[in-house]
Structure 1
């Protein structure tokens, strides 16, 4: 006789579905679409890179506005609004060939998708932590962030199939419908009231997050901008492997993300300050692998990129919770905003570099490696 799902994990499952939709699909689903958009003539290589940077900017705005939106609408309604906007952004992008605005049309909706992701990421992790018993918070946090990796895997399967059967418009629309389905699953399971004070961590005054933790997390974001936008294109056009291969490579990224997040929360609970350097070391190895000339290195780079780039959010959330207790939501919102800001600035710089280099990938991934090395050095000093 099968066991029913643990009711205490219902909010975490809702959070996982939300991040699967607004980050795994709405944000990272763009990576396997990148080479198909260029090959289909919708945008040029530089414009495709700029769309990735614009999405980062929308994510930054959402991370900054998330606490305010949550305060005005309530967390549950704010999460509903984020998922609705994410679905709408993809359905609207499917209309691109019929729209007279071309690149600006896609840019506006990629910004909207980023906004939805930033609001949701800023709110859902702390909301789930607040309704989860302290002993289960590491597991719950890892489960929530694992939704990102699951979404990446789903996108890697859906995008090549949709592009090959129905074209780019079908791919955009299919992802939009998948986001809507995940919203329908998550809505009745949204986090409710926080756990009773008797089972929660003791209330304290405002606390200070470890500065080195926040800085390392920010540098991780900057270093990961390269694989989070260009990894699929590196496989498809850089190594001549084709659009289908880009989807397969992105599946490795998602699988790595699942491993990194499901283990990240527990590792942070058990290893403490030693967890962050481990995840940053994996990121350095990922960027180094992306620079290797052989195509066989790309799946390795993808797996390590997902493990570190997505998993580090679970590590950082758990470390912040341990350091700041009941003040986690405020610090996580700031950490998410800094993460988003670093990726937005780096994303624009990389788009310019990519266009200047004639769509050459090596300079982009070399920049990511340097930033990741800086993050590793800082992570080793976490206080």
Structure 2
């Protein structure tokens, strides 16, 4: 964990809280960091080893995104039947099994199913992990702690650019199995680290009925701007996340070796993102942080579309890398500000936000792929579309805030 996060959390926190934070970090590392991002550097090896054709390998990558959507939908119902901790443990085990299963390319359907299940595990973890850990953390430190939890995503991106190439020297099958071993070790090490007792992600039937009852429509309206902005964030992050390596290798003519270094830089940004975004949330509040991040990221992605200098592209790559992992604690904090003190409502809203994000992320993945094909491999066009999506998100948030403030002012004068 970064020194920024450690210093911000370190207020004589009980050892149990630290164990819970590391359990959450390992869950996001396994379920999203490795399960999703380790596939990117493995893709060329799968094709070169003739395990799958290029087109089949791309569809197998998309299977994880589809599974993520299913996991986002299924996470809370699973927790209601069992409990958060049992589901989180099971999902980490499921990812490990998926890695071991992918070491044996029995068939396309076999591989697709296990990639789908690994995505499902990641979606369920995303919905449940913060709600399991954060109730045990002081309110003033929830932003930085949620950043520490989702630092695991960034560590997974960085690991995919460093550990995976090293494992590939042992062979493709050994790489899949090595990733499975890493998951087993981390799962075992954090098995008893989860907090017990106070958790908010799986409300009682009565609470769920109340949250879905008469106030459901007003609650949706209250959170709708968050759902919209988070979904547009998903549309904005896909091109850099999926096409950056190819853009550097072929678009800039830098070759595969240098492009792999850029992927590591992207991973460095992904490590910086969660604790730094969480820190700014604690200092300045969620809404100002959301606006600043949207503007910064829109400019960074637009820079990828317009610039050609490799050093500048490298700097922008680090900035862009902070986004996929950093927006998670950012949006969580925004939801908490919208429903202060209402843990059940916060978790319902976070679950819905994750579903909207996952749905548009999967749709955007296919849409960008189609645009890329029809444009003759125009990376810069994809970055321009992504920057526009982020600016649209910023415009929508500012407009809605303005209209709501104006309405509140009119009501106050009317009284």
Give the TM-score band, short-chain normalised.
0.7 to 0.9
- Please name the residue that 1:151 is paired with: 156
C-alpha displacement of 1:295: 4.1
- Please name the residue that 1:287 is paired with: 301
Instruction: Answer yes or no: is the 8 Å Cα contact 1:17–1:182 preserved in 2.
Output: yes
- In 1, Cα distance between equivalents of 2:26 and 2:159: 12
1:34–1:353: structure 2 CA closer, same or farther, 3 Å change rule?
farther
The answer to whether 1:274 aligns with 2:288 is: yes
1:235–1:86: structure 2 CA closer, same or farther, 3 Å change rule?
farther
- Please name the residue that 1:368 is paired with: 386
1:173–1:360: structure 2 CA closer, same or farther, 3 Å change rule?
farther
- In 2, Cα distance between equivalents of 1:346 and 1:219: 10
- In 1, Cα distance between equivalents of 2:31 and 2:135: 21
The answer to whether 1:72 aligns with 2:81 is: yes
- In 2, Cα distance between equivalents of 1:6 and 1:358: 56
- In 2, Cα distance between equivalents of 1:195 and 1:333: 15
Instruction: Answer yes or no: is the 8 Å Cα contact 2:140–2:282 preserved in 1.
Output: no
C-alpha displacement of 1:143: 0.8
Select the residue among 317, 320, 331 that pairs with 2:335: 320
In structure 2, list runs of 5 or more residues that go unmatched: 1-9, 201-206, 402-415
Instruction: Answer yes or no: is the 8 Å Cα contact 2:158–2:271 preserved in 1.
Output: no
C-alpha displacement of 1:382: 6.0
- Please name the residue that 2:315 is paired with: 300
- In 2, Cα distance between equivalents of 1:308 and 1:183: 26
Which of 364-373 and 79-88 deviates more? 364-373
- Please name the residue that 1:354 is paired with: 372
Query: Which structure has more RCO (C-alpha within 8 Å, separation ≥ 6)?
Result: 1
What TM-score do the two structures reach when normalised by structure 2?
0.81
- In 1, Cα distance between equivalents of 2:181 and 2:247: 28
Deviation per CA, 1:325-367, whole angstroms, max 9, x where unpaired? 3221111111111110110111121233334445543343333
DSSP 3-state at the match of 1:187 = coil
- Please name the residue that 1:24 is paired with: 33
Deviation per CA, 1:194-250, whole angstroms, max 9, x where unpaired? 189xxxxxx9x8583433222111100111122222223333444454444444222
- In 1, Cα distance between equivalents of 2:380 and 2:172: 27
C-alpha displacement of 1:57: 1.0
1:29–1:299: structure 2 CA closer, same or farther, 3 Å change rule?
farther
Select the residue among 9, 14, 30 that pairs with 2:18: 9
- In 1, Cα distance between equivalents of 2:58 and 2:382: 11
C-alpha displacement of 1:40: 4.4
Select the residue among 156, 164, 188 that pairs with 1:184: 188
- Please name the residue that 2:112 is paired with: 107
- In 2, Cα distance between equivalents of 1:195 and 1:77: 12
- In 1, Cα distance between equivalents of 2:247 and 2:55: 14
- In 2, Cα distance between equivalents of 1:353 and 1:305: 21
Residue correspondences, number = 370
C-alpha displacement of 1:29: 1.6
Mapping for residues 133-144 of structure 1, pairs under 5 Å = 133-144=138-149
1:159–1:237: structure 2 CA closer, same or farther, 3 Å change rule?
farther
- In 2, Cα distance between equivalents of 1:316 and 1:368: 19
In structure 1, list runs of 5 or more residues that go unmatched: 197-202
- Please name the residue that 1:343 is paired with: 361
DSSP 3-state at the match of 1:166 = coil
1:195–1:108: structure 2 CA closer, same or farther, 3 Å change rule?
closer
Instruction: Answer yes or no: is the 8 Å Cα contact 1:34–1:232 preserved in 2.
Output: no
Deviation per CA, 1:285-312, whole angstroms, max 9, x where unpaired? 3322332344444433431122122211
Let me know the Cα RMSD of the aligned residues: 2.7
Which of 284-293 and 343-352 deviates more? 284-293
Q: Name which one, 1 or 2, has greater alpha-carbon Rg.
A: 2
C-alpha displacement of 1:369: 2.5
